[in-house]
A = this chain, B = another copy of it.
Amino acid sequence: MSIRVGIMGYGNLGRGIECALKQNADMELVAVFTRRDPSSVKILTEGVGVYHVDEAPNMKDKIDVLIMCGGSATDLPKQTKEYAKYFNVVDSFDTHAKIPEHFAAVDEAAQASGKVAMISVGWDPGMFSLNRLYANAILPNGSDYTFWGKGVSQGHSDAIRRVEGVANGKQYTVPVEEALERVRSGENPELSTRDKHTRECYVVAKEGADKAKIEAEIKNMPNYFADYNTSVTFITEEELQRDHSGIPHGGFVIRSGKTGWNEENNHIIEYSLKLDSNPEFTASVIVAYARAAYRMYKEGQKGCKTVFDVAPAYLSPVSAEELRAHLL
């Protein structure tokens, strides 16, 4: 019998979950929940109902795992702990600094309900975190480097669009190739913010706006751009739609460390992602962890978990014997 999955919130991530479920024969989508009028939400999967969020608790016996697809700022801090009362849940909570607090609240709910609640699943936090953990455990004597991009930063794109005279804009975070090469060489460089990433801005100016002023305002914006080498390129709305409508992202997690009695040997462990669609990849990671959450629940586990607590075999639909024979 397949694992019955519900989606809470139907934006880019929710749609990504729906697409990922289509690729996993052991799982099926059984419901989508929305705060909007359900009749206004059209989903891709035929024969699956869209319900108002308020109906979710009534469907607790029809859903094995509920995937939380809201935002980290306001939705998930409330929703994940609330729905962990009724369901095994998975979320992608990504406010790194607030993870301990979120973990505690969700754990309390899931311990009480006897469900498994998996938080902060995706690629960062998620696969990048895992790779930091593995690499640190293997090479205790070393340095960590994380680079992001090339990819779209939603927060920085929003910041551009708030500048006076700007009609539209998109920002790419780009890792500095030279810095990557220095890390890969085993040099263990100290890298400043400016050394690691550049910021590329594509900006549509409003009719008659002062472009020089816009460019200066962006480049000098504190926190967002002032600490980086930033480029500003003015383009038309048509060019923006044509060339910059995707949501690619990715990045690199590198650990460089020494071994040997006198630390004479250097090793580089590198993990990288190059993603055409940030939300669809995040969704693909979440779906694998939804499978794990359900299996761990079936084994009698409960409470809040992160990717650090999940033995890799739980993620795969393939049996342990097959995994040992073919992937090990």
**A contact residues vs B (CB 8 Å cutoff):** 16, 18-20, 22-24, 44, 96, 99-100, 103, 120, 125, 127, 129-134, 136-141, 184, 186, 259-261, 265-277, 280-281, 283-285, 288, 291, 306-313, 315-318, 320-321, 323-325, 327-328
Contact = CB atoms under 8 A, between A and B. Distances in A.
Nearest to A18: B261
A19 B274 CA distance: 36
B259 A281 contact: yes
Contacts of A103: 324
Contacts of A316: 133, 136-137
B311 A259 contact: no
Contact of A23 (B129, B140, B312): B140
B328 A306 contact: yes
A324 B266 contact: no
Contact of A310 (B273, B311, B323): B311
Contacts of A129: 327-328
A270 B268 contact: no
A323 B133 contact: yes
Contacts of A136: 316, 318, 327
A227 B4 CA distance: 48
A274 B312 CA distance: 24
B100 A130 contact: no
Contacts of A140: 23-24, 317
A170 to B, nearest CB: 18
A327 B132 contact: yes
9 contacts: A16-B259, A19-B260, A23-B141, A133-B313, A137-B291, A186-B274, A268-B272, A270-B271, A308-B313
A98 to B, nearest CB: 10
B281 A267 contact: yes
Nearest to A270: B272
Contacts of A280: 259-260, 265, 267
Given A103-B324, A184-B274, A275-B267, A312 B130 contact: yes
Contacts of A327: 129, 132-133, 136, 308
B267 A328 contact: no
Contacts of A44: 261
Contact of A273 (B265, B269, B328): B269
Nearest to A130: B312
B19 A259 contact: yes
A284 B312 contact: no
B139 A284 contact: yes
A268 to B, nearest CB: 4
Contacts of A309: 311-313, 320
Contacts of A325: 99-100
A140 B271 CA distance: 19
A105 B137 CA distance: 29
A308 B288 contact: no
Which 10 pairs show the lowest CB-CB distances between chains A and B?
A265-B276, A137-B315, A259-B280, A308-B313, A268-B274, A265-B277, A137-B288, A129-B328, A311-B311, A137-B316
